Chains A and B, each alone.
Chain A
Amino acid sequence: MTIEVRNVSKSFGAYHALKNVSLTVEDGELMALLGPSGSGKTTLLRIIAGLDQPDSGEVLIHGQDLSKQAVRDRRVGFVFQHYSLFKNMSVFENVAFGLRVRPRHQRPSDVEIKRRVDELLGLVQLDPFASRYPAQLSGGQRQRVALARALAIEPKVLLLDEPFGALDARVRKELRRWMRKLHKEINVTSVFVTHDQEEALELADRIAIMNAGQIEQVATPSEAYDRPATQFVSEFLGFANRLACQVENGVARVGGFALPVELENYAGDAVAYIRPHEIGLARANGHDIAKATIDSIVALGPSARVDLAFGDDRLEALIDRERLAELGLSVGDDCAITITRAHVFKSA
């Protein structure tokens, strides 16, 4: 089932949460909505679910406009940020809820409900916990109950709001891997909201990066990282050094280097973003194009982060520690730098 969001806008009072947003999620895809808080990602997810009404625009699920349909008739699985498990019901009853509230003629028999719930609890590896209450579960277990409960209604699409947001780092990593595997198994078109880029990069087939109520870029994780479409994406996704530069005739002059850019008919001020690993270091030898001074060196496992003073700018370079040792560079030394790649945008 595909999800199609067309020209959706939504404001709360004077605050524009979404500005004319369009997005297509393909059948079976796992899409991440990534952005800082306040970027509108949760609002978009809630509108897809029907939990909020857009001021304008429409949401099509499998080609069907659902905007007139009540939430309960949409068959959209939704996993809430804080899981919102029903505290007065056991794990089993939580998962069975969606089956039990069906109109009598569509309701499965008790035996059938038991079979389905057991199957789901098996899927999320919680079979031994069926008779427990939410208060007796750990965060990760609650998260899996919420997921099983959402899946029980055989949703057309699955929506997850910050699914790992409330968990500690270790559990989060484990669940992420498990979730990836689960998605392959059940293959439901899914959208999840996150502010954690690592989570988005690791889990999603594609990422929609949102900022200030708009989608800045929709791309696969590697595409978004390697070819950020906007300044915001370059800054938000991973770290990038930022340098002012000049563009002329399709070439950007960045710190003495001439780099080809895709800004063909533009001449003037621009901003270049350079990833730390795209800065090369060498010993200074008197006639280098660009020189910098090493401010500090921080060992990060096998690599080292080298902080550089480059004129009035500061740069961060990432380099193998072995390579750094070979070069024999240390704090206070001058060194030569090379910039192999940059993403250049017109100055605003």
Chain B
Amino acid sequence: MTAAIARKPFRRWSVLPGFAPALGFTLTYLSLIVIIPLIALFLKASQLDMASIWRILDNPRVFAAFRLTFVASAVAAGINAVFGLVIAWLLVRYRFWGRRIVDALVDLPFALPTAVAGVSLSALMARNGWVGALFAPFGIDIAYAPPGIVIALIFVGLPFVVRTVQPVLQDFEPELEEAAATLGADRWVTFLRITFPALAPAMLTGFALAFARAIGEYGSVIFIAGNRPGLTEIVPLLIVIKLEEFDYRGASVIAVASLIISFSLLILINLLQRRLGEHHERG
């Protein structure tokens, strides 16, 4: 018996025309715009030997920028996870006047240019701004301080958790909660043991998206941050400063480091999410 294992064909046969030109164009365009430039970035960074790379990264100002960026992004994404769930719940489960408008407004951060968000948030949170004035008497600065950065990052990440949780909650069978109720569980226990586990993977996805967005965010942050080196300077700003100093190597190393860290975090979250969602795929 000859075991001739047929190689899986590259593509399933189809009567429709245009596959080759469409795929060809797609790949060429994607390569020219995204892939090759990103590879060029990695090549630029890899021209340096490890010692030089380490010298660029092992710098208090760079370290402080990384720490600030990742901590502020995580805090902002965390706050968005909680309030995103609350807003999704509100939109799916409650009926109230103006619900459609509220639903539409959730997407504003996707539509509003980041520079606009930046200037208006910093005006709002400054000591003489509507919100900043409420905190100023207690000696709390929001704008031009780390809380301002978190505020800006909350703004840009706001829609992610709402938009990932909302459809899941919409499709969530209310009978599951009713079943828990008939078995004697109160509302809180039902939420903790039945509803929340079903929403958690979506929340985590939303968290990861908001987090990834926050790490790269530039426009909305630089206006409100104050941009003091070592204190309120974020990684993207540091890259821009290096570029303005024509230090392309330094900028590339920092950019690559930030890409690698955020991609690894995303992969980690992806794995975690897969474990969380294990029993939810079917049935």
Contact = CB atoms under 8 A, between A and B. Distances in A.
A142 interface: yes
Given A87-B198, A142-B283, A72 B178 contact: no
Interface string B186-218: 100100011001100000000000000000000
A82 B175 contact: yes
Contacts of A78: 178-179, 182
A88 B199 CA distance: 11
Interface stretch (B66-74, B133-141, B274-282): B274-282
A87 B182 CA distance: 17
B182 A76 contact: yes
Contacts of A70: 181
Given A88-B197, A101-B184, A71 B178 contact: yes
Interface stretch (A11-19, A148-156, A317-325): A148-156
Contacts of A97: 180, 183, 185, 193
A133 interface: yes
A77 B193 CA distance: 19
B198 A49 contact: no
B184 A86 contact: no
Question: Which range holds the interface residue count of chain B?
Answer: 20 to 34
B176 interface: yes
A137 B283 CA distance: 9
A304 to B, nearest CB: 45
Candidate in A70, A87, A152 with the most chain B CB atoms within 10 angstroms: A87
Contact of A153 (B178, B183, B186, B279): B183
B58 interface: no
A331 interface: no
Contacts of B244: none
B183 A101 contact: yes
Contacts of A80: 175, 178-179
Nearest to A149: B183
A51 interface: yes
Nearest to A73: B184
B49 interface: no
A87 B283 contact: yes
A102 B178 CA distance: 16
A135 B179 contact: no
Contacts of B176: 84, 86
B173 interface: yes
Interface string A197-227: 0000000000000000000000000000000
B283 A135 contact: yes
A75 interface: yes
A336 B189 CA distance: 71
Contacts of B184: 72-73, 75, 98, 101-102, 153
B183 A85 contact: no
Contacts of A276: none
Contact of A133 (B185, B194, B279): B279
A90 B281 CA distance: 14
B182 A150 contact: yes
Interface in A39-95: 49, 51, 70-78, 80-82, 84-88
Contact of A88 (B179, B180, B279): B279
A72 B185 contact: yes
Contacts of A85: 283
Candidate in A78, A85, A153 with the most chain B CB atoms within 10 angstroms: A78
A70 B176 CA distance: 16
A35 interface: no
Contacts of A98: 183-185
Candidate in B181, B194, B198, B282 with the most chain A CB atoms within 10 angstroms: B181
Nearest to B283: A135
Contacts of B194: 86
24 contacts: A49-B182, A51-B181, A72-B181, A72-B182, A75-B184, A78-B179, A82-B175, A84-B175, A86-B179, A86-B180, A86-B194, A87-B198, A87-B279, A88-B197, A88-B198, A88-B280, A97-B180, A101-B183, A102-B184, A133-B279, A133-B283, A150-B183, A153-B183, A153-B184
Per CB-CB distance, the 4 closest pairs between chain A and chain B, nearest first, are: A98-B183, A135-B283, A135-B282, A84-B175
Given A51-B182, A88-B198, A133-B279, 15 more contacts: A51-B178, A51-B181, A70-B181, A71-B182, A84-B175, A85-B283, A86-B179, A87-B280, A87-B283, A97-B193, A101-B180, A101-B193, A135-B282, A153-B183, A153-B184
